[in-house]
Amino acid sequence: MLVCADGHESRSTDYCDVCGSALTGAPAPDPASLRLCPNCQAPTSGRFCEGCGHDSALPSAAGSRAGDRPEATFRARPDRAETSQGGARPGPARAESEPADSSRENARFDPPRTAGTDPTRTGVQPGFDPTLIAGTPPAAAKTWVARIFADRELYARVQARKGPDAERVEFPDFCPERRIILHGNRFLIGKRSASQGIVPEIDLGIAPVDIGVSRAHAMIQVDQGGALTVTDLGSTNGTSLDGAEASIPPQQAIALREGSRIHVGGWTTIAISAEA
């Protein structure tokens, strides 16, 4: 093992492994022992690269994953350059890594926060779903149901008003209640007519027939949020709600709620309910 002018033992044959000073009288390096500098890719055999001064004893950047952190830039410090006692050329300056701008690094690796994921703004942790708490199941979509029955109170009001068809309307002796699940978003209330191409979803032309109901009497609609409305389509005897004497304005959507009752014809009532 060679010894430099300062008394340091060195495995390298050209420059001291400890201080970097030139080893005078040292034999030329064996080409077979040369390797590429990891910093500038120049051939070198000692600890310090003759081209850029890179110290091969420093920890290698290979331990970090590619792309994890910005590459450090290296600059030579002239005040660290050293010379040998014999006046030989100055040894290569040692390299010092320049830290990257911390603000840019943080901006690169800190994911952006939004109002929906920032715990300091919402009070909950990102990805938290309150519907998963035990005892709080997700709200199920409502299924609307129309219940159709003969309403004697409505019949009495129609007779008292002496409407257009009051004299011809008779209350049925037997009228079983019907139940229709409202699948879809538009439901025509009326009577089937093959000649006019009318096929109502709530067909009131089934015996016993309420002659006070028009063929296209009213329309129930469900919006995207699940809310219901009813619109009178200009029927002869009109449409009323919840036992009211006055009919609703024609061609105007009126909001419904669970439990609403739609009165059409001489004695027909359609009660709206919701099922989970």
* Residue 98, both tokens: 């320049």
Residue listed under structure tokens 């006055």: 246
Report in angstroms the alpha-carbon separations of 216 from 83, 150, 168, 244. 107, 19, 20, 22
End-of-domain residue from the set 88, 109, 130: 109
Q: Are 248 and 239 in contact (CB under 8 A)?
A: yes
Task: Give the C-alpha separation, 208 to 149, whole Å.
Answer: 11
- Region 52-65 average pLDDT: 64
Q: Are 52 and 93 in contact (CB under 8 A)?
A: no
- The pLDDT confidence band at residue 70, using thresholds 50, 70 and 90, is very low
End-of-domain residue from the set 109, 129, 161: 109
For 152, the domain range is 143-275
Asked whether residue 138 is assigned to any structural domain, the reply reads no
Instruction: Report the CATH number that the domain containing residue 221 is assigned in CATH.
Output: 2.60.200.20
Asked whether residue 136 is assigned to any structural domain, the reply reads no
* Residue 253, both tokens: 């959507």
- The pLDDT confidence band at residue 74, using thresholds 50, 70 and 90, is very low
- Tell whether 175 and 258 lie within a shared domain: yes
Residue of 46, 26, 42, 45 whose CA lies nearest to 34: 45
Task: Give the C-alpha separation, 221 to 187, whole Å.
Answer: 6
- Tell whether 3 and 49 lie within a shared domain: yes
pLDDT tens across 242-252, in order? 999 999 999 99
Residues 6+ apart with CB under 8 A from 177: 147, 148, 149
Task: Give the C-alpha separation, 202 to 207, whole Å.
Answer: 13
Asked whether residue 114 is assigned to any structural domain, the reply reads no
- Tell whether 234 and 177 lie within a shared domain: yes
At 209 the three-state DSSP class reads coil
pLDDT tens across 163-205, in order? 778 889 999 999 999 999 998 899 999 999 999 999 999 999 9
- The pLDDT confidence band at residue 72, using thresholds 50, 70 and 90, is very low
Asked whether residue 79 is assigned to any structural domain, the reply reads yes
Name the burial class of residue 134, with classes exposed (0-12), middle (13-18) and buried (19+) by CB atoms within 10 angstroms of its CB: exposed
Residue 19 predicted with pLDDT over 80: no
Tally Cβ neighbours within 10 Å of residue 155: 22
Bigger pLDDT: 143 or 36?
A: 143
Q: How many domains does the chain have?
A: 2
- Tell whether 170 and 105 lie within a shared domain: no
